Amino acid sequence: MHKVADSPQNPAALSIPPKSKRVMAPILRTPRMQACMLLSAFVTGSNAIQSADLESATNAPPPGFFTRFDRIFREDLGTQAYTPPSTDTNAPAAPVTRRGYPAPFDAPPYPNGEWQIGGTEIIGDANTIPLWPLTAALQDGPNGEWWKKSRVNIYGWVDVSGNVSSSHNPNPGPVTGQGANFPEIYDQRANRIELNQAALYFERTADEFQTDHVDWGFRVMGVYGLDYRYMISRGLFDAQLLNHNHYYGYDMPMTYFTVYFPKVAEGMNLTVGRIISEADIEAQLAPNNLMSSHSLLYSFDPYTQEGIFSSIKLNKNWVIQAGLSCGGDVALWQRDPGRQPTGSVMAQWQSSDGKWSFYGGANQFNNGTFGYNNLQQYVGTITYKITTNIWTSHETWYMYQRNATTGPTADVPYQNGFFPVKPGYAPEWATLNYTMFRLGHSTFFTVRNEFFDDIVGNRTGYASRYYEGSIGLTWWPNKLMTIRPELRFDHAFDALSYDSGTRKNQFTAQVDVILHF
């Protein structure tokens, strides 16, 4: 998840003194006595009136949850997203909550302050979750101390996007059921406004700064919207997509439990459950992305895995990861050739000078038998922080399946991508660059370029090479909102792939708005 600065505790809705300072409980009064009090207040002046107002406020019922939520939400809409470091030399030092090197980036405005790593919280960090309005309203209520001590957070967001495209053909074309913008898939329906994601988290993170005791965490996340299509595993909520091709639906892409062991090397996380695939600069979750749209490289590789995953911090520079899952994008109980013991081995290295990072390895490997999404993926990303305000990240992967068929079979009736145009070995490779320029405290500009070779059409349905280039702006007008306009150009070198299989070129302009709660 991305880390942003913790928000301060919001002030109380009413100026109610704490219990230890409250005035003595009032004596019950008759209407005649109350009338005498008002007359006395009028004769003696405002002090008596103020005293009566204080007593009335003191005895008023506490505000309800929705009142607290509304107040905090409005306050956060008026709060800036990024708070510059204090220059006051006399200010008390902030508490230390991190071992190892500091985070290389500011988040916000960037979606993540850390060097790229997936499938784990940051070992050596307290992993404090930002205080969003929903959790803040719970902590400000009658059971607030319990919520604070439990470190359980409930939060989410709504992401809405709209696009204008040179593609407009409403017909399905040779790739049945896809919109005109395809192979641009997260925004595959042209010239529309879409609800991409309505997401809700229920989460507790382990404190991995401390080293004296075992800690634990969990995450249960649900999402509804267009983007569910790019998270679904076969055998888990899949009928809405595979049987009915619903454009809107729901999924739970992350449901897991984590245990942190501080005495293993410099810390180890052991995670059991369903996680989003560890690799890639991007993520399915809207706030975790550098741009509104997704690259082709990200759109067509593995999405989620179910199993057990470990991450071990060897020292300040190295983290190694190893995992065992039941396959890519397939439920443990689902019959599919890709449902088999599947390994993952990844490693993260960061330089001591805070300028370089590498993350990569074998994200998913087994015998490679053709299945729903049984991709064998070998991937690497290198990130370089050029200056405080400019950085770049470059990713390349190679993937394949074996014994592919050109159409449905009894064993493989569905494909997460598409059936290739040639049977047998089905490979693809892609390379992608992001370069970011920070323009202000809460704004940055992004340039994205990529090349994608779908050699036999196993991902897009067309055996073609692709180029995609985009520019985009990310702006946080306040703590709760992110606005991301962008311009994008796509080109297919070898096939009529866009506008329902009638064009090689496509231009799109789009914008999305994320609202956190």
Question: Is pLDDT above 80 for 38?
Answer: no
pLDDT, position 91 = 75
Residue 324: strand pairing partners: 308, 343
pLDDT at position 62, please? 81
pLDDT category at 84 given cuts 50, 70, 90 is confident
Q: Tell me the C-alpha distance between 324 and 341, whole Å.
A: 7
**Alpha carbon 180 to chain centroid, angstroms:** 27
In tens, the pLDDT along 290-337 reads 999 999 999 999 999 999 999 999 999 999 999 999 999 999 999 999
| Residue 93 banded pLDDT, cuts 50, 70, 90 | confident
Inform me whether the pLDDT recorded for 121 exceeds 50.
yes
DSSP class per residue in 387-417: SSSEEEEEEEEEEEEEEE-SS--SS----SS
Express as a percent the part of the chain with pLDDT over 70. 87
Range with the poorest average pLDDT among 214-218, 244-248, 311-315, 329-333: 244-248
Q: Is the pLDDT of residue 36 over 70?
A: no
- pLDDT attached to residue 169: 84
Q: What average pLDDT does the segment 271-279 reach?
A: 97
Q: DSSP code of 228?
A: G
Place of tokens 């290198």: 382
Total H helices, total E strands in the chain: 7, 16
Kindly state the average pLDDT of the residues 132-140: 97
Q: What is the rounded CA–CA span in Å between residue 3 and residue 6? A: 9
Predicted pLDDT of residue 179: 86
Of 184-188, 233-237, 303-307, the least confident: 184-188
**pLDDT tops 70 at residue 171:** no
What pLDDT sits at residue 40?
A: 43
The confidence score (pLDDT) of residue 172 equals 55
Task: Place 94 in a pLDDT band, splitting at 50, 70 and 90.
Answer: confident
Taking all residues of the chain, what is their mean pLDDT, rounded to a whole number?
Answer: 89
Residue 6 pLDDT > 50: no
pLDDT higher than 50, residue 39: no
More confident residue, 467 or 35: 467
Give me the pLDDT at residue 89, please: 74
Query: Residue 45: pLDDT above 80?
Result: no
449 forms bridges with which residues in the sheet? 433, 469
Say if residue 436's pLDDT is above 70: yes
Tell me the per-residue pLDDT of 327-372, one tens digit each, with 9 for 90 and over.
999 999 999 999 999 999 999 999 999 999 999 999 999 999 999 9
Report the CATH architecture of 133-516: Beta Barrel (2.40)
User: Among 311, 213, 225, 190, which residue's Cα sits nearest to residue 262?
Assistant: 213
Q: Answer whether residue 220 shows pLDDT above 60.
A: yes
